[in-house]
Amino acid sequence: MQPNPFAPPPSRQPVKKGTPFLHCAAGALIWYIALIVAFLAAALKTRAGLVNLMPALVIGAVFWVLASTITWLILMRTRVQPWVLIPLTVPIYVLVWIVVGGLMGAFANVYAVLIS
Asked if 71 and 78 count as a contact pair (C-beta separation under 8 A), the reply is no
Question: For all residues of the chain together, what is the average pLDDT?
Answer: 85
Q: Comparing 14 with 36, which gets the higher pLDDT?
A: 36
The reply to whether the predicted model has a pTM over 0.75 is no
User: Does residue 2 have a pLDDT over 80?
Assistant: no
pLDDT in tens, 104-113: 899 999 999 9
User: Does residue 67 have a pLDDT over 80?
Assistant: yes
Residue ranges per domain, the chain?
A: 21-115
Q: Comparing 5 with 28, which gets the higher pLDDT?
A: 28
- The confidence score (pLDDT) of residue 7 equals 73
Nearest to 101 by CA among 63, 48, 70, 58: 63
pLDDT in tens, 26-64: 988 998 898 888 888 888 888 877 787 888 888 889 889
Max Cα-Cα span within the chain: 89
The Cα-based distances of 112 to 52, 59, 98, 103, 109 in angstroms read: 22, 21, 21, 14, 5
